[in-house]
């Protein structure tokens, strides 16, 4: 295959960025600014939204909290904390180097779930947007948007890099042998024994860290 025949699709949260650390920082910020009661209530709302949407909608959770507590003081500091967060500091080691290597082999596209405000901000401020030259796709449920992915980036073969076995299994079910599923075991979901057992065999390649992919050769990822 030539370079134009291959497209690398790379997730963001817990694949390129340590999203667990970002959550911990936000939780600590809310506790410091508003106390444990507000922190705990906000996190309940945030988890409810996660179950509804399938991705972390922090700004949406803040909006819901505001509806419940319209006179809460200094709530704007939490949204400012998120918007101004130094996402580049939460990149996993060598994450951008992996994207650079992929770009030498084929088209490299960010494929992620998220809202229309915070997720693009995260991708841009982390340096990921520039690293892939603006090739970024953000959906509500990316595994349900594969037809649109193909329409935008038609390829003979795809390499999907993600920390969620559920996503890898869903995409392989649709694309079959047309995709190589690369499982990056970073983040809490990647280490959940129940999830790992439920989707055993979903990954074609498994690595412990995104940086491990720097040691792979193209024939190991593309048949």
* Mean pLDDT, the chain, whole residue set: 91
Q: In the prediction, which pLDDT does 101 show?
A: 97
Are the beta carbons of 180 and 159 closer than 8 angstroms? yes
Q: What percent of the chain has pLDDT over 70?
A: 97
Nearest of 194, 106, 192 to residue 157 by alpha carbon: 106
pLDDT at 3 over 70: no
Are the beta carbons of 188 and 210 closer than 8 angstroms? no
pLDDT in tens, 148-179: 999 999 999 999 999 999 999 999 999 999 99
pLDDT in tens, 102-137: 999 999 999 999 888 889 999 999 999 999 999 999
Long-range pairs of 56-61 with CB within 8 A, sequence gap ≥ 24: 56/13, 56/19, 56/23, 56/114, 57/114, 57/115, 57/118, 58/26, 58/82, 58/118, 59/115, 59/117, 59/118, 60/115
Find all residues with CB under 8 Å of 108, minimum gap 6, and list them: 7, 8, 10, 99, 102, 132, 135
Nearest of 135, 189, 117, 190 to residue 8 by alpha carbon: 135
Confidence class for position 1, pLDDT limits 50, 70, 90: low
More confident: 20 or 147: 147
Going through the chain in order, the beta strands assigned E by DSSP cover 6-10, 107-113, 136-139, 157-162, 179-184, 205-207
Nearest of 174, 223, 179, 219 to residue 203 by alpha carbon: 179
What are the chain's domains? 3-17+91-221 (3.40.50.1000), 20-87 (1.10.286.50)
Give SS3 for 115. coil
Measured in whole angstroms, the distance separating CA 163 from the mean position of its chain's CA atoms is 8
């Amino acid at each position: 295959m030539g370079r134009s025949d291959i497209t690398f699709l790379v997730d963001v949260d817990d694949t390129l960025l340590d999203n667990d650390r970002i959550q911990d920082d936000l939780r600590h910020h809310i506790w410091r600014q508003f106390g444990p009661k507000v922190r705990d209530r906000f996190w309940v709302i945030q988890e409810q939204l996660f179950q509804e949407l399938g991705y972390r909608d922090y700004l949406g959770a803040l909006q819901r909290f505001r509806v419940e507590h319209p006179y809460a003081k200094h709530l704007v500091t939490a949204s400012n904390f998120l918007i101004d967060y130094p996402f580049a500091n939460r990149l996993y080691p060598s994450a951008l180097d992996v994207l650079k290597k992929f770009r030498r082999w084929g088209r490299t596209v960010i494929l992620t779930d998220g809202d229309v405000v915070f997720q693009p901000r995260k991708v841009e401020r982390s340096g990921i947007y520039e690293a892939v030259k603006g090739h970024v796709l953000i959906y509500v449920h990316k595994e349900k948007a594969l037809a649109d992915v193909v329409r935008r980036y038609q390829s003979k073969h795809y390499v999907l890099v993600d920390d969620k076995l559920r996503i890898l299994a869903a995409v392989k079910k649709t694309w079959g042998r047309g995709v190589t599923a690369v499982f990056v075991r970073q983040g809490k979901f990647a280490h959940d024994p129940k999830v790992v057992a439920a989707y055993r065999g979903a990954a074609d390649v498994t690595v412990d860290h995104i940086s491990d992919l720097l040691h792979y050769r193209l024939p190991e990822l593309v048949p």
